[in-house]
A and B are shown apart, each in its own frame.
Chain A
Amino acid sequence: MQDVILGTSVELPQAVMQSVSLNLTVNGQQREFVVEPWTTLLDLLRHEMDLTGTKKGCDHGQCGACTVLIDGRRMNSCLALAVMQDGKTVTTVEGLAAPDGTLSPIQAAFIEHDAFQCGYCTPGQLCSATALLQEGHAHTPEEIRELMSGNLCRCGAYPNIVDAITQVLAQAATPEVA
């Protein structure tokens, strides 16, 4: 890319190493890839694995649509280089339901509470909420809102998203009656 206005040429450096191999376990499946070092995890998932549930929203870590779980932790896959994830386990929205298709509790609660409109942010919201439930730091609607702030919803489904998460939190807190 040329920085035209300032008249400075930004020369693209020659890469010494063009591609790197890496192992990833994605939604329970172990895979080996050979990637260029500048490939993001988001692009790898979408282009190499056809896992297009994970969305490219802003591509700058501001919207959360690309949220996936890396070793169980929610991360923005647009800001993660694939080569740096070697040996790690990745869960995308496609991996949240049980193998027989039974929705996870948070997926079912999103449907029950109509926690989306256009649906573009939903995969990121679901992955983020899945991690939030496991983290155990959110106990109130205020804490849910604060700890879901990395996922934007331009349709404004926030109240229903908070309701869905609140319901699953309450279910988890209620001991099952045998």
Chain B
Amino acid sequence: MNRFSYARPDTLTAAIQALAHPGARAIAGGTNLIDLMKYSVEVPSQLVDITHLPFAKIELLPDGGLRVGALVKNTDAAYDARIGESYPLLADAILSGASPQLRNAATTGGNLLQRTRCYYFYDTATPCNKRQPGSGCSAIGGTNRVHAILGTSADCIATHPSDMCVALAALEAVVQVSGPEGDRSILFSDFHRLPGAEPDKDTSLQPGEIITSVDLPAQHFSSNYTYLKLRDRASYAFALVSIAVALEMEGATIKAARIALGGVAHKPWRVPAAEEALAGQTPGSEVFGKAADLMLAGAQGQPGNRFKIALARKAIVRALKQAANGTPQHATDKQIQ
């Protein structure tokens, strides 16, 4: 690991000041940053330990939503009674990711800021536009089983690896941040970005800004939801394709639908047209298939990951059925119902 100085501020103002130091990086759970430092992918000159800041609480918001502090551990969010009752989609997504050890260390804010698991991003002996802008993309024309099929660019086909963020996208969470210019709220769909010509930029977070909380809106979707994750082994692996579905039902009719895909793009993937096509419909294979086709419009595979297009289509249809039937997939259940 490289040499760095260490700061442990206990106020937000001091943390923001410390992060102004060139090459400074915030650290909380450290499960991704320390790993990347061991590979010399991240080489910070100063680590700002933000774990002493007061953002480790889960609080009710006046509008009936829930504020999940940036420093709340993944484990504590997943097993929180209020989240389990009101946002089971989020709890299920968190529990399908990583391992208990990592969830005990990893934080809410850090989950949003984790980097891609593209093999070439980690391998400093190979070109990678995300790690070294302008050097090229080794995944295009290389080994690309885990890579993106939607929203890619000629410079990058990396995916965002989070499960939690797929649920947060479907729930339309809001990211609260503080920085040198003050506080601002970022809609979840605007937080992560597509690679375009600047794949080194994962998010819309500005230099010196830190996440203080992730706010969940009052609409819960606690009855008709599912998080379905497909991967190369039964547990403790990143998604090849994952899907969060949240439906609002009115009798036997879908009133509103939210669908987000993971493992297929540089950010959790949503398509408003697919969700709108489900509104007012009666659940059924044909209706779900049409929504799946709209979700995957424009999908483009690489030789190693073309299978993801068919896999994602079937996963969307299956997940919509699970959600409509009120039979969510559980992380422990290795049979897809």
**Which size bracket describes the interface of A in this complex?**
35 or more
**A113 interfacial contact with B, CB 8 Å:** no
Q: Which residues of chain A come closer than 8 Å to B98, judged between CB atoms?
A: 150
Interface window among B2-10, B279-287, B292-300: B2-10
Q: Which residues of chain A come closer than 8 Å to B234, judged between CB atoms?
A: 145, 149
Contact B27–A10 (Cβ < 8 Å): no
Complex interface bits, B1-34 against A, C-beta within 8 A gives 1, otherwise 0: 1111110100000000000000100010011001
Contact A13–B43 (Cβ < 8 Å): yes
**B135 interfacial contact with A, CB 8 Å:** yes
Find A75's partner among B23, B101, B236 (CB 8 Å cutoff).
B101
Q: How far is the CB of B97 from chain A (nearest CB, A)?
A: 11
**A32 interfacial contact with B, CB 8 Å:** no
Find A79's partner among B6, B8, B34 (CB 8 Å cutoff).
B34
**A5-B126 contact given A13-B45, A84-B30, CB 8 Å threshold:** yes
Q: How far is the CB of B110 from chain A (nearest CB, A)?
A: 12
Interface window among B46-54, B55-63, B184-192: B46-54
**A75-B99 contact given A8-B132, A10-B43, A84-B30, CB 8 Å threshold:** no
**A92 interfacial contact with B, CB 8 Å:** no
**A170 interfacial contact with B, CB 8 Å:** no
Find B332's partner among A16, A74, A146 (CB 8 Å cutoff).
A146
**B289 interfacial contact with A, CB 8 Å:** no
**A20-B35 contact given A74-B100, A74-B101, A132-B100, CB 8 Å threshold:** no
Find A38's partner among B1, B49, B331 (CB 8 Å cutoff).
B1
Contact B101–A5 (Cβ < 8 Å): no
Contact A150–B49 (Cβ < 8 Å): no
Interface window among A45-53, A57-65, A99-107, A160-168: A57-65
**B217 interfacial contact with A, CB 8 Å:** no
The residue on A at minimum CB distance from B78 is A137
Contact B34–A40 (Cβ < 8 Å): yes
Contact B35–A13 (Cβ < 8 Å): no
The residue on A at minimum CB distance from B36 is A60
Q: Which residues of chain B come closer than 8 Å to A142, judged between CB atoms?
A: 332-334
Assembled-state Cα–Cα distance A128/B45 (Å): 33
Q: Which residues of chain B come closer than 8 Å to A20, judged between CB atoms?
A: 6
Assembled-state Cα–Cα distance A14/B44 (Å): 10
Find B2's partner among A6, A38, A135, A150 (CB 8 Å cutoff).
A38
Contact A81–B100 (Cβ < 8 Å): no
**A80 interfacial contact with B, CB 8 Å:** yes
Complex interface bits, A24-40 against B, C-beta within 8 A gives 1, otherwise 0: 00000000000011101
Contact A37–B104 (Cβ < 8 Å): no
Q: Which residues of chain B come closer than 8 Å to A128, judged between CB atoms?
A: 100-101
Complex interface bits, B74-111 against A, C-beta within 8 A gives 1, otherwise 0: 01000100000000000000000011111011000000
Q: How far is the CB of A86 from chain B (nearest CB, A)?
A: 8
Q: Which residues of chain A come closer than 8 Å to B2, judged between CB atoms?
A: 1, 10, 12-13, 38
**A150-B100 contact given A13-B45, A60-B35, A61-B35, CB 8 Å threshold:** yes
Q: How far is the CB of B165 from chain A (nearest CB, A)?
A: 19
**A14-B126 contact given A8-B132, A67-B101, A128-B100, CB 8 Å threshold:** no
The residue on B at minimum CB distance from A40 is B34
Find B31's partner among A17, A79, A145 (CB 8 Å cutoff).
A79
Complex interface bits, B222-240 against A, C-beta within 8 A gives 1, otherwise 0: 0000000000001110000
**A147-B45 contact given A5-B125, A38-B2, A38-B4, CB 8 Å threshold:** no
Q: Which residues of chain A come closer than 8 Å to B132, judged between CB atoms?
A: 3, 6, 8
- Top 9 A-B pairs, shortest CB-CB distance: A150-B99, A13-B45, A16-B5, A149-B235, A37-B6, A149-B236, A15-B3, A38-B1, A73-B104
- Interface residue ranges, B against A (CB under 8 Å): 1-6, 8, 23, 27, 30-31, 34-35, 37-38, 40, 43-47, 49, 51, 75, 79, 98-102, 104-105, 124-127, 132, 135, 234-236, 331-334
Q: A61-B102, A81-B30 are in contact. List 19 more A-B contacts (CB 8 A).
A: A1-B124, A3-B40, A5-B126, A13-B4, A13-B44, A16-B46, A20-B6, A36-B3, A38-B2, A38-B37, A67-B101, A74-B101, A75-B101, A76-B31, A76-B102, A80-B30, A142-B334, A146-B332, A150-B98
Q: Give 23 CB contacts A-B under 8 Å.
A: A12-B43, A13-B3, A13-B23, A13-B45, A14-B45, A37-B5, A38-B4, A60-B35, A61-B31, A75-B105, A76-B31, A76-B102, A79-B30, A79-B31, A79-B105, A80-B34, A81-B34, A83-B8, A137-B79, A146-B331, A147-B100, A150-B98, A150-B99
- Interface residue ranges, A against B (CB under 8 Å): 1, 3-6, 8, 10, 12-17, 20, 36-38, 40, 59-61, 64, 67, 73-76, 79-81, 83-84, 128, 131-132, 135, 137, 140, 142-143, 145-147, 149-151
